[in-house]
Amino acid sequence: MELTQLRYFQVAANYEHISRAAEALNISQPALSTMITRLEKELNVPLFDHNGRSIVLNENGRRFLKRVNHILTEVDSSKRELQEMANEHDNTISLAVSSSQFLQGMHTFMYQHLDYKWHQRVADNKEIISLLNLGQIDMAVTSPGIYGNDYHSILLSNDEFKLAVHKDNPLAQKKSVRLRDIQDERFIMLLKDLPFRIQTDRIFTELGITPLYSMECDHLLRRELINANAGVTIASQSASFRHLYSDNIRFLDIEDVHQTREIVLTYLNDRHLSHASKAFISFLKQKFSGDDLKS
């Protein structure tokens, strides 16, 4: 049994589809199918239930995958540790986020460490879990968080929901509002498939409110419209100290909303983190705590 076999199995298990797994591995579909068959013969048990090009891990496969993930994580961590010993100033940070907004306002860290190299991508939680397990990223910042026995998860923020309004909006004179009282305001909301929009829709549904949506758009346009006093929006409390909006924006408490939004940093327990990654984790913990506001 070779490491290459284990890596191919790991990718196939994560994709549960021969074509997509072969494409990710940059090998032919027959080659991947042959490898899986040989591995199953060597183990003397089937690892997948087959349905055309689709494959589904069976109980044997799930047990084996857990061991394989651990083995390959140890191998990758050992390689990284040895490489870092050879170059103790390892300066690469590889991460994924479920929203690009989580990295807004992080330019100060980059300015302080111009020699650091970055590999960053945006993905949903399902893909991020695969990237973590495959060792393709060092860490992830997500909402909702990723938890499990294999992961070290750090709660960066348990965000309250706020109403973001321009200082020239009459509501800006208030310290707090009730969504039930302002449902006729012109709400500027994110697109429906974005995680934050899903959370805010749930809030309105639980309150029995159908708000007036004047615009549904991406993060960038929403920010521009709010900064231009074109409407109001629901934002997270941490948006204020992550500098997502201009200084003209006020964040009001919402009296009838008690849900919070967690933002979580996650990495594999056995993952060897570079000096750069450790420094960035420390920065994130401080940034999301709002400590930078105290200076």
Q: Do domains 3-71 and 158-260 have the same CATH topology?
A: no
Domain 3-71, second-level architecture: Orthogonal Bundle (1.10)
Q: Mark 255-275 as b/e (b = at least 16 C-beta within 10 Å).
A: eebeeebebbbbbbebbbbbe
Q: Which CATH class is domain 88-156+262-294?
A: alpha beta
Tokens of 61: 């496969």
pLDDT digits over 35-79, tens only? 989 999 999 999 998 877 778 889 999 999 999 998 988 888 888
DSSP type of residue 46: -
Asked if 182 contacts 257 with a C-beta cutoff of 8 angstroms, the reply is no
Q: For residue range 252-289, list pLDDT tens digits in order.
A: 999 999 999 899 999 999 888 888 999 999 999 988 77
Q: What is the mean pLDDT of the chain?
A: 88
- Sequence spans of domains, the chain: 3-71, 88-156+262-294, 158-260
Two structure tokens written together for 282: 């420390």
Intervals of the chain under pLDDT 50: 291-295
Using a 10 angstrom Cβ sphere, with 0-12 exposed, 13-18 middle and 19 or more buried, the burial of residue 42 is exposed
**How far apart are alpha carbons 246 and 184 in whole angstroms?**
24
pLDDT at position 295 is 26
pLDDT > 70 in the chain, percent: 95
**CATH assignment of 158-260, given 3.10.20.30, 3.40.1160.10, 3.40.190.10, 3.40.630.30?**
3.40.190.10
Nearest residue to 177 via CA among 66, 70, 78, 257: 257
pLDDT recorded at residue 292:
38
